[in-house]
């Protein structure tokens, strides 16, 4: 038994696995030979951790979660790929997080202090930031990039290769098929932008002036009287002194051929109706 760790006798920890000091492995868990578990981690029961998976300190994993299994990717040829989960992350019942695929970046990463609720899925080659909340049944397809402080509502599905910027909010039961800007709020079966995530911006400590500036940048960028390329150039010059506004400009300026942007809802207000006052 690893020094300072507690392992239930019904669990299988294969030779080569590393278990950190103070960690508790509950009953009927299976830990593969290439797994690294940090300090003070708690696996409740019936947890499977496979492959080259690293679980950071102070994580908590609940029953029937499966971490680090091979990707659900037909292009994967069986090469060694990895999964990393940051410190302080909680993974609830029956959630699944797969390793990367050898046909892509080869690595899946979940950041620190995330809360992955029951029946969520994080697919191969996803990069998930810090402090991300995924409510029950939320799903990330392969190759998604999720920024810090993002909240994803229950039963929401994010299409492969989609990027979601920092502090965005994806409403429950939505289908996210395009990139969502930082601070954006997206909702709908084929989701549209419904304005800015004002509540999340306040909770993050942004001032009223910061929120007003980001809102003004948002309105400039999505002004339908001009092409977006022109709007971005205008916003880059007008809001150069606003780092928060520039997050949106920079996010939209690195679009590739695989990406399109989730647009504001048609026929509705381009901005969130809620006051920032």
Instruction: For residue range 20-73, list pLDDT tens digits in order.
Output: 999 999 999 999 999 999 999 999 999 999 999 999 999 999 999 999 999 999
Q: How far apart are the first and last CA of the chain?
A: 57
Annotation marks residue 51 as catalytic: no
Residue 267 clears pLDDT 80, i.e. is over it = no
pLDDT in tens, 6-15: 999 999 999 9
- Is 142 marked active-site? yes
Say which of 32, 100, 142, 153 is annotated catalytic: 142
3-state secondary structure (DSSP) of residue 256 = coil
Residue of 88, 100, 125, 148 marked catalytic: 125
The mean pLDDT of the chain is 94
Topology of 6-201 in CATH?
Answer: UDP N-Acetylglucosamine Acyltransferase; domain 1 (2.160.10)
**Residue carrying structure tokens 């339908």:** 224
Domain edges within the chain? 6-201
Does the structure show a pLDDT above 60 at 256?
Answer: no
What's the chain's length in residues? 277
Confidence tier at 270 by pLDDT (50, 70, 90): low
> Residue 125 catalytic?
yes
Residue 203, Cβ density class (10 Å: 0-12 exposed, 13-18 middle, ≥19 buried): exposed
The residues, any chain, with a CB within 8 Å of residue 38's CB and separated by 6 or more, are 20, 23, 54, 55, 56, 57, 58, 59, 87
Catalytic residue among 51, 124, 129, 137: 124
Determine contact, residues 218/200, Cβ cutoff 8 Å: no
Residue (of 16, 46, 8, 54) closest to 33 by Cα position: 16
Please list the residues that pair with 61 across neighbouring strands: 43, 91
Q: Convert 136-159 to b/e letters by CB count within 10 Å (16 or more is b).
A: bbbbbbbbbbbbbbbbbbbebbbb
């Amino acid at each position: 038994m690893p020094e300072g760790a507690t392992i239930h006798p019904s669990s299988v920890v294969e030779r080569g696995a590393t278990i950190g000091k103070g960690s508790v492995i509950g009953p009927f868990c299976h830990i593969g030979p290439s797994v690294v578990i940090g300090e003070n981690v708690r696996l409740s029961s019936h947890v499977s951790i496979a492959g080259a998976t690293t679980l950071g300190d102070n994580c908590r994993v609940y029953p029937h979660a499966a971490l680090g299994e091979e990707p659900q990717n037909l292009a994967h040829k069986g090469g060694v790929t990895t999964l990393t989960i940051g410190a302080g992350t909680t993974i609830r019942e029956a959630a699944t997080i797969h390793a990367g695929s050898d046909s892509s970046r080869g690595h899946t990463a979940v950041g620190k202090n995330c809360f992955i609720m029951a029946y969520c899925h994080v697919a191969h080659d996803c990069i998930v930031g810090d402090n991300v909340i995924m409510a029950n049944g939320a799903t990330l397809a392969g190759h998604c990039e999720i920024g810090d402080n993002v909240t994803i509502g229950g039963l929401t599905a994010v299409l492969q290769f989609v990027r979601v910027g920092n502090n965005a909010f994806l409403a429950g039961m939505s289908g996210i098929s395009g990139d969502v800007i930082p601070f954006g709020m997206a909702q709908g079966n084929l989701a549209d932008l419904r304005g800015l995530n004002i509540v999340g911006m306040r909770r993050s400590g942004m001032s009223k002036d910061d929120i007003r500036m980001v809102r003004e940048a948002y309105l400039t960028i999505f002004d339908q009287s001009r092409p977006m390329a022109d709007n971005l150039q205008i916003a880059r010059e007008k809001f150069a002194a606003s780092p928060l506004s520039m997050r949106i400009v920079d996010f939209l300026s690195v679009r590739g051929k695989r990406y399109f942007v989730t647009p504001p809802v048609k026929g509705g207000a381009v901005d969130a109706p809620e006051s920032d006052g």
